[in-house]
């Protein structure tokens, strides 16, 4: 099994850009797709990025995803930050032993 | 549109059992896998179990293996989570979520049902 480690929190002003990392502890980040979920306070998670870099319909193009094999990590970037982006964000990937791993979660604060 | 509604949560004593249900509407239920994911108070997300389209293939997190059982009834568009030998650490909000494939995303989530294990 592997772990996905995220920064505990990030904060930035409206209109700025934040990037959240998701580092895989063992095995290649490229071996299975990485998903990203947004969870606003008191609400269920929703998908903001799927399959590393795909955006579901309805998710603004301010959200983008990528993976970097050199650092064995995935990243979620939110540009043009808005107050409505304030939420917890979780990465997630599939483990070949038929289990699913979530990242530790990152709280995004819009100052 | 796609809607998932969980039910069955409540307060239960340690060692007892509880069954959660998740009713799905708005899409072809039998074409999708279904996950259960939980979240302890103030904590992150933890995957619990998944059942594939026809209900034959099921996988569990190590933390619940042997105590929880996932099943589905495609005639009722419902997925279940039978939880037994409950422990305090099973306390949390339980969400069901759809998925299109083994390594795919958890596309749509329900609003969750709360389980509290306490004496």
3-state secondary structure chain A: CCCEECCCEEEECCCCCEEEEEEECCCCCCCCCEEEEEECCCCCCEEEEECCCECCCCCCCCEEEEEECCCCEEEEEECCCCHHHCEEEEEEEEECCCEEEEECCEEEEEC
Q: Give mean pLDDT, residues B40-61.
A: 95
Residue B59: which of A35, A88, A98 has the nearest Cβ?
A: A98
Instruction: Say if B106 is an interface residue toward chain A (CB within 8 Å).
Output: yes
pLDDT at B101 over 90: no
Mean confidence (pLDDT) of chain B = 95
pLDDT tens-digit readout, B67-86: 999 999 999 999 999 999 99
CB contact under 8 Å between A90 and B35, yes or no, is no
pLDDT at A9 over 90: yes
CB contact under 8 Å between A92 and B106, yes or no, is yes
Q: Which of A80-84, B9-13, B101-105 has the lowest mean pLDDT?
A: B101-105
Mean confidence (pLDDT) of chain A = 96
Separation of CA B64 from chain center: 12
Instruction: Say if A27 is an interface residue toward chain B (CB within 8 Å).
Output: no
Q: Give mean pLDDT, residues B87-101.
A: 95
Nearest CA in chain B to A88: B44
Instruction: Say if A45 is an interface residue toward chain B (CB within 8 Å).
Output: yes
CB contact under 8 Å between A90 and B112, yes or no, is no
Which residues in B lie closer than 8 A to residue A46 (C-beta atoms)?
109
pLDDT the model gives residue B104: 86
**Could you tell me which residues come within 8 angstroms of residue B46 by beta carbon, excluding any fewer than 6 positions away?**
A102, B37, B38, B39, B40, B61, B63, B92
Nearest CA in chain B to A8: B44
pLDDT at B102 over 90: no
The nearest CA of chain A is from the CA of B12 a distance in Å of 23
pLDDT tens-digit readout, A38-89: 999 999 999 999 999 999 999 999 999 999 999 999 999 999 999 999 999 9
pLDDT at B64 over 90: yes
pLDDT the model gives residue B38: 98
Q: Where does the pLDDT of residue B47 fall: very low under 50, low under 70, confident under 90, or very high at 90 and above?
A: very high
pLDDT at A1 over 90: no
């Amino acid at each position: 099994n592997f772990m996905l480690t995220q920064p505990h929190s990030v904060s930035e002003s409206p209109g700025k850009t934040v990037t959240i990392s998701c580092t895989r502890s063992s095995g290649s980040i490229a071996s299975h797709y990485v998903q990203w979920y947004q969870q606003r306070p008191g609400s269920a998670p929703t998908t903001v990025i799927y399959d590393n870099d795909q955006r579901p319909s309805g998710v603004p193009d301010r959200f983008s995803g990528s993976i970097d094999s050199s650092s064995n990590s995935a990243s979620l970037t939110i540009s043009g930050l808005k107050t409505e982006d304030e939420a917890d964000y979780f990465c997630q990937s599939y483990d070949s032993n038929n289990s699913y791993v979530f990242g530790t979660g990152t709280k995004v604060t819009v100052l | 549109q796609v809607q998932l509604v969980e039910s069955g949560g409540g307060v239960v004593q340690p060692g007892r059992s509880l069954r959660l249900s998740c009713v799905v509407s708005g899409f072809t239920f039998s074409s999708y896998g279904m996950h259960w994911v939980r979240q302890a108070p103030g904590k992150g997300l933890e995957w619990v179990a998944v059942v594939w389209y026809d209900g034959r293939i099921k996988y569990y997190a190590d933390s619940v293996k042997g105590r929880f059982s996932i099943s589905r009834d495609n005639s009722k568009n419902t997925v279940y989570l039978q939880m037994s030998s409950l422990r305090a650490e099973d306390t949390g909000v339980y969400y069901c979520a759809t998925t299109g494939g083994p390594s795919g995303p958890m596309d749509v989530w329900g609003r969750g049902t709360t389980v509290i294990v306490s004496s």
